[in-house]
C-alpha cells in the first residue's frame, strides 16, 4: 500500500466521491421526488446535498477552489446521475464550472445553466465602453430560471468566441420544458449589458461554441439512463409471467434484450471515449463520435425496453418513463446524432480513406 503515491491518492478520492454520490442518489431520488420534479418542483435540499458533497465542483482544479478530480473520473458522476435520473442540473453545473474556471481561474458556486444548446443558435457580443453588450435569443436553456448563473458562449462581429457569466435575472426568461419535464427555458438577451469581469475568451473546449461540452455531458447521462432502462426491463421480464412462465424464458424476449445489451455496451464504450478526451487534442471529434453512437442507440434500446414491459410500461405507474423520456430529450440536445454524424463524415472524407485507420487505432481525432 503506497498511499503516498499521488496517482493512488487521486484514484482513492475519485472512488470516495463516486461512492458518496451513488449513496446520495440512491437514497434521495425517489419516485415521489421525480414526480414532484415533473410537476416543476425544484428539490432544493437535494441540490444543497449535492453541493455539500462537492459534486458540482468535481472537475474544477483545487487551485481554483474545486475538488480537482481528473475529468475522466468526475464525468462518471454524470453517468450515475443519468442512471438515477437526477432531476437537477448537475451535468450543466459541473462542466460549466470547469469551463469558467479554465477561462477565469475562478470557481463559481450555485447551479449553472449552459448554452446555446441547439446547433445554429448564436449569441452576439460587442464592446460597449468598458462593458459588453449582448444580442440574441437562446432557446432550450437548461434550468435558466432556477440557476444562479447562465454560462453562455457568444461571438463578436469578428467571430472571436467568449464565455459570458450572466447572473440570474439578466434579460427576460420564458420557462419551458423538454419531454423529460426538465426546465428548458428561453432567454431573451437583446441589449443586456455585462461587465468586463464576466466575459472571458472561450477556452479550447468551446472552440465551436457550447455544443461539444454539452454533448459530452449528455452522452454520460444517456449511457447511465440506458443502463437504468435495461435494468428495469430485465427485472420486469424475470418477474412477469404469461403462458405459465416468466417472460424471460421466451427466446424472443431473450434475443431482443441481448441485442440491446450490445447496443448499451457499444454506447458505453463510445461515451468513455468522450470522457477521456476532455482537455486533449481532438476533443470535439471524440465527443462527436460519442454523441452520434449513443444518440443512434436510443431508439432501438427504448423500443425494446418498452416492448417487453407491455402496456404497463406505457404508464406513469412504473418508473421506466423517467429514464426513457429523458433519453428521448437528451438525444436531441447539443446536436442530435445527425448533426454529429455529418461533422464526422465531413472530417473523414476530407482526410481520405487511408487516413482513417490511424485515427481509430491511436484514438486521435485531430
| List of residues contacting other proteins (CB under 8 A) | 227, 230-231, 234, 237-238, 248-249, 251, 253-255, 257-259, 261-270, 272-273, 276, 288-290, 292-293, 296, 337-338, 340-350, 352-354, 356-357, 360-361, 363, 365
User: Residues 6 or more apart from 338 whose CB is under 8 A from it?
Assistant: none
CB 57 within 8 A of CB 67: yes
- The nearest distance, CB 301 to other proteins, in angstroms, is 12
Between 62 and 346, whose beta carbon lies closer to other proteins?
A: 346
- The nearest distance, CB 179 to other proteins, in angstroms, is 24
- The nearest distance, CB 277 to other proteins, in angstroms, is 11
Between 150 and 215, whose beta carbon lies closer to other proteins?
A: 215
152/149 Cα distance (integer angstroms): 9
Q: Which of 291, 303, 232 is nearest to 267 (CA)?
A: 291
168/103 Cα distance (integer angstroms): 20
- The nearest distance, CB 111 to other proteins, in angstroms, is 28
5/21 Cα distance (integer angstroms): 25
- The nearest distance, CB 292 to other proteins, in angstroms, is 4
DSSP assignments along 287-327, one per residue: HHHHHHHHHHHHHHHHHHHHHHHGGGGGSSSSTHHHHHHHH
- The nearest distance, CB 150 to other proteins, in angstroms, is 30
Between 169 and 352, whose beta carbon lies closer to other proteins?
A: 352
- The nearest distance, CB 316 to other proteins, in angstroms, is 24
Between 148 and 344, whose beta carbon lies closer to other proteins?
A: 344
- The nearest distance, CB 255 to other proteins, in angstroms, is 5
Whether the CA torsion 198, 203, 205, 207 is positive or negative: it is positive
Between 200 and 275, whose beta carbon lies closer to other proteins?
A: 275
Between 93 and 268, whose beta carbon lies closer to other proteins?
A: 268
Q: Which of 246, 229, 220, 240 is nearest to 304 (CA)?
A: 229
Between 133 and 249, whose beta carbon lies closer to other proteins?
A: 249
- The nearest distance, CB 290 to other proteins, in angstroms, is 8
Q: How many CA atoms lie within 13 A of 89 on its CB side?
A: 29
276/292 Cα distance (integer angstroms): 16
Torsion of CA 217, 218, 221, 226, to 10 degrees: -150
**Helices and strands in the chain: count of H runs, count of E runs:** 12, 12
286/270 Cα distance (integer angstroms): 8
Residue 218 corresponds to which cell in the numbers above? 449528455
CB 323 within 8 A of CB 177: no
3-state SS assignment for residue 328 = helix
CB 94 within 8 A of CB 110: no
Between 188 and 356, whose beta carbon lies closer to other proteins?
A: 356
- The nearest distance, CB 27 to other proteins, in angstroms, is 20
Amino acid at each position: 500500500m503506497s498511499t503516498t503515491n499521488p496517482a493512488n491518492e487521486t484514484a482513492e478520492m475519485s472512488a470516495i466521491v463516486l461512492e458518496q454520490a451513488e449513496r446520495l442518489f440512491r437514497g434521495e431520488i425517489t419516485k415521489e421526488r421525480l414526480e414532484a420534479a415533473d410537476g416543476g418542483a425544484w428539490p432544493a435540499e437535494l441540490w444543497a446535498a449535492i453541493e455539500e458533497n462537492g459534486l458540482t465542483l468535481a472537475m474544477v482544479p483545487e487551485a481554483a477552489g474545486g475538488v480537482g478530480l481528473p475529468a475522466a473520473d468526475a464525468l462518471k458522476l454524470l453517468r450515475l446521475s443519468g442512471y438515477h435520473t437526477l432531476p437537477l442540473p448537475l451535468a450543466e453545473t459541473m462542466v460549466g464550472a470547469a469551463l469558467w474556471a479554465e477561462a477565469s481561474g475562478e470557481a463559481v458556486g450555485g447551479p449553472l445553466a449552459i448554452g446555446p444548446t441547439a446547433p445554429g443558435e448564436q449569441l452576439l457580443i460587442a464592446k460597449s465602453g468598458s462593458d459588453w453588450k449582448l444580442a440574441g435569443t437562446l432557446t432550450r436553456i437548461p434550468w435558466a430560471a432556477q440557476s444562479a448563473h447562465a454560462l453562455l458562449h457568444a461571438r463578436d462581429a469578428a467571430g472571436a468566441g467568449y464565455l459570458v457569466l450572466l447572473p440570474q435575472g439578466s434579460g427576460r426568461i420564458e420557462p419551458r420544458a423538454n419531454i423529460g419535464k426538465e426546465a428548458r427555458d428561453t432567454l431573451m438577451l437583446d441589449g443586456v449589458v455585462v461587465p468586463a469581469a464576466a466575459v472571458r475568451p472561450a477556452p479550447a473546449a468551446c472552440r465551436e461554441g457550447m455544443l461539444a461540452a454539452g454533448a459530452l455531458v449528455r452522452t454520460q447521462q444517456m449511457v447511465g439512463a440506458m443502463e437504468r432502462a435495461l435494468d428495469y426491463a430485465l427485472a420486469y421480464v424475470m418477474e412477469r409471467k404469461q403462458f405459465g412462465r416468466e417472460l424471460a424464458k421466451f427466446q424472443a424476449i431473450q434475443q431482443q434484450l441481448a441485442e440491446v445489451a450490445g447496443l448499451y455496451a457499444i454506447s458505453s464504450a463510445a461515451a468513455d471515449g468522450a470522457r477521456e478526451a476532455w482537455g486533449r487534442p481532438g476533443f470535439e471529434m471524440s465527443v462527436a463520435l460519442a454523441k452520434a453512437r449513443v444518440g443512434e442507440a436510443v431508439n432501438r434500446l427504448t423500443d425494446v425496453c418498452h416492448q417487453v414491459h407491455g402496456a404497463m410500461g406505457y404508464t406513469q405507474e412504473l418508473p421506466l418513463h423517467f429514464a426513457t423520456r429523458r433519453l428521448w430529450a437528451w438525444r436531441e440536445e447539443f446536436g442530435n446524432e445527425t448533426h454529429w454524424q455529418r461533422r464526422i463524415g465531413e472530417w473523414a472524407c476530407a482526410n481520405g480513406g487511408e487516413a482513417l485507420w490511424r485515427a481509430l487505432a491511436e484514438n486521435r481525432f485531430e
